[in-house]
Structure 1
Amino acid sequence: MTISPAKIFIDYKDAKKILKQLEISFIEEKEKATSLRKSDLTKEFITHSYKNDYRNTYRIARENLDYNLLIEEDGSIFQFGYELDGNEKICDLRYAYYEAPSIQVSYEEYLHDLELNIEECGEVFFEEYSQALSEGELKKNVTSVRYDFSIEHRQELIHPVSHIHIGQQNDIRIPVSFIMTPKNFVAFIVRHIYWNKWRIGMIDPHFREDYLSSYSTGEVMGSVLFSAEEKRDLCFKFNV
């Protein structure tokens, strides 16, 4: 049991809707939005993502446009990707959220500090701005979250087919009882990382219902992928 590519694209669109409802503005990398494949990520990013150098990994992602969504207010990025097996069925999913490792300011704010404005400068100072961001003061703590679904790498109990990683360079791998979609993942991120905006959004009954129903789009897995023993373990699940 798995989900279809069409479902990924539908829920990717709904994921953006959640961000818009909470007034979390973003820049979309349009070319990757037409594909949503894991293979869209550059080899340079993939290589560095396994190293213990979060700042450099983030820098490469920004420079290579290795993201689908860039959150404008804080520079955090979302990545979404799937792969197909020989039968054209999804066998692998990867969604990731990378918090910016340093304090971010907008390009307009950067120019303002130089007593300039974007109307007269345009993109002339954008390279210097990007360099300043990459060299900015590091935050004391940063959060990264990654969701993986991999039929090939599944080992019952040891390596769940569907799971969430929180943080870098650790063995945290929390089982998930269903196959997450981009909408599920973004709902999880805004609930726990953009908590203040989520809390305010929950006052609106329309958003409240959209959020609470967002996980019902996930595909519950059968015993082939999620065994009886795995169901006895601690895991993330949703109630309809």
Structure 2
Amino acid sequence: MNEAVFKISINEAGKILKKMDFLKSKKDINIGKYSQESLDAVKSGDLKTIYQTAVDNNDYELLLDDDSIFQFSKNGDKLRYAFIQSQSTYFSFQDFLLEMFDESDIPTDEQLLEEMEVEYAEDYEQRRAEQKINLGAMYIRYDVDHNGYRPNLHSYAHIHIGLNNNFRLPSSIILTPLSFVLFVMKHVYITQWEIAIKQNIIDDQTLQFKRLCENIPNELWQISEQRELYII
């Protein structure tokens, strides 16, 4: 995957998240360039520290509506994607409005909703700050790195779920940033995913994203590894 495809894939992921009304912001410069503080925080193994340090230093490419973040970095063939979920329980603007109005009284017109978001912005942020801690907050990371590759022990491409670095789910393909985002959205945000399918935001064309994922060279994906469980 070259640099252009890498950046285009991040842009496509941002577009889909925006259509899902679940994207707060997207960074377009210094992609994959992070502060030393964030790099050091990852070594701590503490999700709160990793997340807060990344947010404080703007070390992310995509910021979701619930303040969770995606990171994407590329250095030659070496890839690192990370999803770091906010530890605050998600509380949408729609949830906020339902506390004050009957559902039938809430406008469906986008312009009116945007005006209400401006009018109630301070009150909404206060309610978000009062939300309980999300004890099930997720950390998902995808690595592609030739260094350390050992067949059946340390796969060339693999997914980490949680902060135990010894948990590595092998992958037989090189995931794009878009494929990683869609994987996370389906498995972490099932409600938003279901709505996106019903609204045809996630359509048949989107679900063909795997076609853009390159196969791993045979010398880095050996027959013995293919006998294990892995992500196709």
* TM-score between the two structures when normalised by the length of structure 2: 0.79
**Counterpart Cα distance in 1 of 2:39 and 2:164:** 15
Match of 2:83 among 77, 97, 109: 97
Q: Equivalent residue for 1:157?
A: 152
Query: How do 1:176-195 residues align onto structure 2 when only pairs under 5 Å count?
Result: 176-195=171-190
- For residue 203 of structure 2, give the secondary structure of its aligned residue in structure 1: helix
Once the two structures are TM-superposed, the CA of residue 16 in structure 1 deviates from its matched residue by 1.2
Q: Equivalent residue for 1:58?
A: 51
**Counterpart Cα distance in 1 of 2:2 and 2:117:** 43
- For residue 77 of structure 2, give the secondary structure of its aligned residue in structure 1: strand
Structure 1 portions without partners, runs of 5+? 84-89, 110-116
**Aligned residue identity for 2:221:** F
Alignment deviations for residues 18-57 of structure 1 (CA, whole Å, 9 cap, x no partner):
212322222113xxx33423xx111111111121321122
CA 1:48–1:11: 2 relative to 1, 3 Å = same
Match of 1:80 among 72, 80, 94: 72
Percent identity over paired residues: 29
Q: Equivalent residue for 1:87?
A: none
Alignment deviations for residues 77-120 of structure 1 (CA, whole Å, 9 cap, x no partner):
0000000xxxxxx221000000101236689x8xxxxxxx9979
- For residue 71 of structure 2, give the secondary structure of its aligned residue in structure 1: strand
Give yes or no for contact 1:76–1:97 (8 Å, CA) kept in 2: yes
Alignment deviations for residues 186-224 of structure 1 (CA, whole Å, 9 cap, x no partner):
110111111112122223556321332112111011211
Q: Equivalent residue for 2:194?
A: 199
Q: Equivalent residue for 1:168?
A: 163
**Counterpart Cα distance in 1 of 2:131 and 2:140:** 22
- For residue 137 of structure 2, give the secondary structure of its aligned residue in structure 1: coil
Give yes or no for contact 1:187–1:211 (8 Å, CA) kept in 2: no
- For residue 146 of structure 1, give the secondary structure of its aligned residue in structure 2: strand
Give yes or no for contact 2:47–2:139 (8 Å, CA) kept in 1: no
Q: Equivalent residue for 2:213?
A: 218
Q: How many residues align?
A: 210
